[in-house]
Chain A
Amino acid sequence: MNCIIVDDEAAARAIVSQLCSNVSNLNVMEEFDSAIEAIKFLNQFKVDLIFLDIHMPGFTGIDFIQTLKNPTKIVMTTSDTEFAIASYEYEAIVDYLVKPITQERFNKCLQKVKNSSSAISARASDGSNDPEGGASVEDLYINIDRRLIKLKYGEILLIEAKGDYINIKTNTKDYLVHTTLRKILDKLPEDRFLQIHRSFVINFNKIIDIEDNSVLIEKNVVPISRSNRSELMQRLNLL
């Protein structure tokens, strides 16, 4: 089983790494002191398990979970039991370890990971989930050079107006389509897509972070206009 450790505290990472080394068939692929770095890694590599600290400055463990594209089992690690209830709202979370973690408790946790019937993997294998881990597949067909190309909503990162065209950015490719931002916005689900600037519509589920007047979507920094800012802020699940 391949895992990664995400914690901003070096001592905490060293402890989890040591706990892992005492268990056979558990390989620590990488350790990260920031959730953003871990997300970049997960965009390239598949892991079976993530040990994730909840309480990290800026981008928390909960923010991290919300940006995960692929369902992966997660074990939360933290000093605060008060976060436990919130963390169990997420299906991917298998267990919750309170620091300092003992080997005995860690071993029980791994047993739990192994025993977890993994609705997550089941969904992944039957192909019924979209890239965001949602339950349903919803598509949009775009017309490019007389070809209709199917895009899943979950693939779309953002859409940018380019004169008479729009540029649909996905993880793998950009699509230039002859239409307007307004027309495509009407075709997309309101709960997932939001116009944050006169030239930009974003997939709300792809937000990594928001800083001042811009949003980070994967590697794209997208401006937020003053008039759209309040709607964006209202839709955030702010602490």
Chain B
Amino acid sequence: MTVYQLHSQAPEVARIQTRLKELGLYSGPIDADFGGGTEAAVKAFQRANGLAPDGRVGPLTWDALFGGAVIEAPALTRQTLAYRCLALTGSFETGTAPPDCFAGLAGDFDGQGLSFGVLQWNLGQGSLQPLLVEIDRTSPALTRRIFDAHYPEFEAMLGVDRDDQLLWARSVQDAATSQLLEPWRGMLKTLGRTPEFQAVELKYAQQRFQTATTLCRTYDVWSERAVALMFDITVQNGSINAVVQAQIQRDCAALDRALPRDEREVARLKAIANRRAEAATPRWVEDVRARKLAIATGVGSVHGREYDLAAQYGIRLQPQDG
């Protein structure tokens, strides 16, 4: 059953916020992020309409809000597994919910000029340029519309060598804070939110997704969660080395054979999560562990955000769909 509540993040939350604003109950930003303000507004709405004021938008409240409509599950949950995994890892990486995480944007804080996209491709290592070239080639009308008067500059930037690309990136950001300046900030974010650019991002993340599914076979795990976990490992940690692999296999061999299938899967995922986290740089072990365990168990808090994989991302403890 779909419920939108505190910490939910989805375009559907934006619809709820817009509706509450029309009713004069909500005055905050339409940011698709279900926070305390949205919750208070929902409670007020529920009281006014004779519903139990629990601050959660379930089928009844949705029905009352939108006059008879059936509640919709987040659109994200109907996407392909690759897209959902990318959205989840992207959300961890950029600290924003989808679809904003596909437009993650950072300046030259790390000497790489400019990092953009769900997996923070950058100019310095030359990983971002192919994506920008591709979107410009496949959707010329889109890039022309978004960059408008700045399109010639965008095009010229793609044509020069990396030194001058880095120089360009530094000329459009604040040297002290490494924040991109307008209009480039807004234009790139807009580009990142378009389905066309997200398709390009998905294409460039495809190889990592393949690696993740291969890893699932190696460790004999089969669920959607397992793919999400392996994908997150390939993005954040690169891979699993031989020593960690041996540790994981020993942990898994020690598991009770009588466990039901689903519990066995979760136990295996937790072993992978813990062992991989412990192999990280000491400073980041707990950070990595929280993130990986949130995937393994399906719920958790990462960087101050609450995650519920099944409800928010449609990543469940069920076999991968082909």
Do they bind each other?
no
- Residues of A whose CB lies within 8 Å of any CB of B are none
- Residues of B whose CB lies within 8 Å of any CB of A are none
